[in-house]
């Protein structure tokens, strides 16, 4: 899907995927005022491997409200988003830095070992899944040197850059998890189609 500023789009909000949210709404009209990040996951833009020893996120928002989204560098993958995360850092992030979408490394999450993830509902029903409200992680934050439409590989790679802040991050009450819809092949025909096609081909041969 291509996102553009001022574009009106309709979305289905799945209550199952909003399991950790205290409320859910449906049939919502959304107008994109600004594209924060839009990175295609076509094969030529993917990294060769998943992050190891940490999980990368974009962190953005305002000084009062900070939000995170998992950076997708390889397929299959998982969408992890959280709003109003709480940061305790050695240096405060400025409004300008947050407007440019910094890169945040959440340490202690072995993404490479976790991929591919279990189905969404299995994760949401697990008491040990790491991405839950109230979970706290040590973090390192870097300036994001890439623009909103940049392509990979290397989107989450900060090279030898020095961090702009270190500390901890605690997830807020509203988190979003999706390990299935994100990975669906929109061009793959359903299994029923193949079965019906085989049946019709068989009938056609008999009629001939």
pLDDT digits (tens, 9 = 90+) for 179-205: 998 888 666 655 555 666 666 676 766
> Could you tell me the residue ranges of all domains in the chain?
39-207
pLDDT tens-place string over residues 55-112:
999 999 999 999 999 999 998 999 999 999 999 999 999 999 998 889 999 999 989 9
Two tokens, residue 154: 């290397």
Give the number of other Cβ atoms within 10 Å of residue 106's Cβ. 25
pLDDT bin (cut points 50, 70, 90) of residue 31 is: confident
Greater model confidence, 128 or 204: 128
**Average pLDDT of the chain to the nearest whole number:** 81
3-state secondary structure of 96: helix
Q: What is the pLDDT of residue 190?
A: 57
Report residue 200 as tokens: 């019709």
Q: Tell me the helix, strand and coil percentages in the chain, rounded to 5.
A: 20, 25, 55
Task: At 52, list the tokens.
Answer: 């190891």
Distance CA(202)–CA(204), nearest Å, equals: 5
């Amino acid at each position: 899907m291509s996102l553009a500023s001022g574009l009106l789009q309709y979305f289905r909000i799945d209550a199952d995927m909003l399991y950790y949210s205290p409320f859910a709404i449906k049939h919502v009209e959304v107008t994109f005022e600004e594209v924060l990040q839009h990175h295609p996951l076509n094969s030529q833009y993917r990294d060769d491997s998943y992050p190891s020893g940490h999980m990368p996120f974009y962190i953005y928002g305002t000084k009062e409200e900070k939000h995170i989204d998992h950076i997708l560098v390889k397929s299959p993958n998982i969408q992890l988003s959280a709003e109003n995360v709480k940061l305790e850092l050695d240096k405060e992030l400025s409004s300008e830095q947050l407007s440019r979408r910094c890169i945040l490394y959440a340490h202690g999450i072995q993404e490479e070992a976790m991929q591919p993830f279990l189905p969404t509902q299995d994760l949401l029903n697990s008491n040990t899944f790491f991405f839950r409200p109230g979970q706290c992680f040590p973090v390192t934050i870097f300036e994001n040197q890439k623009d909103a439409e940049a392509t990979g590989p290397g989107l989450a790679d900060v090279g030898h850059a020095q961090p702009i802040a270190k500390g901890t991050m605690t997830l807020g009450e509203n988190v979003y998890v999706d390990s299935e819809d994100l990975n669906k092949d929109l061009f793959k025909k359903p299994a029923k189609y193949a079965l019906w096609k085989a049946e019709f081909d068989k009938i056609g041969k008999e009629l001939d």
